[in-house]
Structure 1
């Protein structure tokens, strides 16, 4: 098993999905619900994220082929999306591709089950997350790499579900300062991962650069 790939995927998903940032949003959107309603929202969110992540992992290459998109070009586009999200995190902002535009945020409280939208899509599983999963899936060409990829993906999904289940406990202990510091630290990690994706894509597109 490629433990390095598993660790890098786990770190990338942790940084881009940022459970610590999702917890306050989850608590805000479920503030008017009872325990059963909050549990239903949690299950819907975790189910949406899990199904979406597995679809990206299993069918990502087929979807790219359907639209005639080269993996290297998609990796470059995905790296740029992840980089924009990372730069937003470093400045302390939330990128609209995951957190939604102001107009979309105004509609959040009117949704019947916020676990699917907006918590599942696009806050947790947004374009950056999808691109990251697809890119890492395409990098897994050997059996050890494939095992490492799914170990990292499944491990993170389990961790994410556990973190969101502990949302009330975490929410009572996370200060705005801690959230701000963690966002910027995750932004640095995510920026490095994004540049690796961009560099790998450019190396595949222009192999002469590597000589």
Structure 2
């Protein structure tokens, strides 16, 4: 099997859902919870990301068809969203689409609610992640690598779940400098992937540009 698509897909998911930048938010929002509540929050967050990823992977294309949106146009829009997130990461900032306002967060005080929103959606599984999952599903299908796509998605979800459950232990060695460097490095990777999505969509929409 050709794992090229799989490597790109995993890199994109890691960059846009980078646990090293998501976990500090998780720890900050669960700081007042006991161990059991913190674990319930983590499980709710993992379940939200997993269910959202599976839905986008399986019926994302069908949902787009319902609204009359074709893949090239969605890939272009998704690439632009991912690029904006990447530029924010390169500046050391969190994009607004991956955060919830304090007033919105205050409406969801329970552990399970916090795990679903805002930690699950939109912090971990935001618009950029949704677009990435749907676009790579189509790209993998076109390349005959849908099996690689499924395996890669499963592997990343397992990795994300383990990283989330291990957040209290990982936090001991994460310094502000580590987080800053990681965010910028992942921003660069994500920007490259976003440009590939944009150029690929423009090639489909305007084939004459590529000769």
TM-score interval, normalised by the smaller of the two chains: over 0.9
Match of 1:108 among 83, 105, 115: 105
Structure 2 match to 1:20: 20
- 2:34, 2:183 → 1: CA distance? 30
Counterpart for residue 80 of structure 1: 80
The Cα shift of 1:78 comes to 0.1
Give 1:109-128 correspondences, 5 Å limit: 109-111=106-108, 112=110, 113-128=113-128
Which secondary structure state, in structure 2, belongs to the residue aligned with residue 8 of structure 1?
A: helix
Secondary structure of 2:203's partner? helix
Structure 1 residue aligned with 2:9: 9
Tell me how far 1:2 sits from its aligned partner.
2.6
Looking at structure 1, the residues matched to 14 and 29 of structure 2 have their Cα atoms a distance apart, in angstroms, of 22
Report the CA distance shift for 1:77/1:142 in structure 2 as closer, same or farther (over 3 A): closer
SS state at 1:140 partner: helix
Count of residues in correspondence between the two structures? 208
Deviation of 1:143 after TM superposition, in Å, equals 7.9
Note the alpha carbon deviations across 1:58-89, whole angstroms, 9 max, x for none. 01000010000011000000000000000000
Note the C-alpha offset of 1:106.
3.7
Deviates more, 1:145-154 or 1:86-95: 145-154
Runs of 4+ in 1 over 4 A off after TM superposition: none
* Corresponding residue number in structure 1 for 2:166: 166
5+ residue gaps, structure 1, are none
CA distance in 2, matches of 1:73, 1:144: 21
Q: Deviations over 1:106-127 (max 9, x none)?
A: 4324412210001100000000
Deviation at 1:141, TM superposition (A): 2.1
The CA distance in 2 between the partners of 1:18 and 1:126, in whole Å, is 12
What is the aligned partner in structure 2 of residue 182 from structure 1?
182
1:183-207 Cα offsets, whole Å, 9 max, x none, are: 0000000000000000000000001
Residues 1:136 and 2:136 are matched in the alignment: yes
Alignment CA distance shift 1:13-1:170 (3 Å): same
1:2 and 1:125 mapped to 2: Cα distance? 27
